[in-house]
Chains A and B, each alone.
Chain A
């Protein structure tokens, strides 16, 4: 399977714990995006990487959130001191580094905070 891969698919944790998600993009794609999706809503942009450089961050990305893409391949999204409001689906997408290229999404990590 050469699509975008996300792990884990589900994560249940207690409030206050830290969690980390991983995204493996399509190998030829330089651009990588993280989104958050809550029930009944479309995905909301969190952050964007061009290779290993994090070039855009949404105001939704509080200081408890951090994302990395150390070698320009896979990326991780960490949430520290999780809160109830962090419960959502976290989606990763990747695309070619060209004008108006479609983003291809993974199947997401569903986070549930107890």
Chain B
């Protein structure tokens, strides 16, 4: 599975958009980009995933560059409850194991 690179930490003001980048320059054609987050010591929570088109759901938007070598997770109006570690993971969509390999992630601190 392709590896990802994320900044270790980021800050964001409450109410502003949080833009979390992820580099995955070795991504293969059949690999999807997945985002999860882990609030404090809870189990990780699924946010969103995409292949090549931009995706949006009630939690966030995912912007994937045309060459698919990088992506950005956007939390449009960050709140204090969005303070968490955010993980960007790439994995084949047709995986026959479903497993996800987590990296270090980005610690997002939302400040009042």
Chain A bound to chain B: no
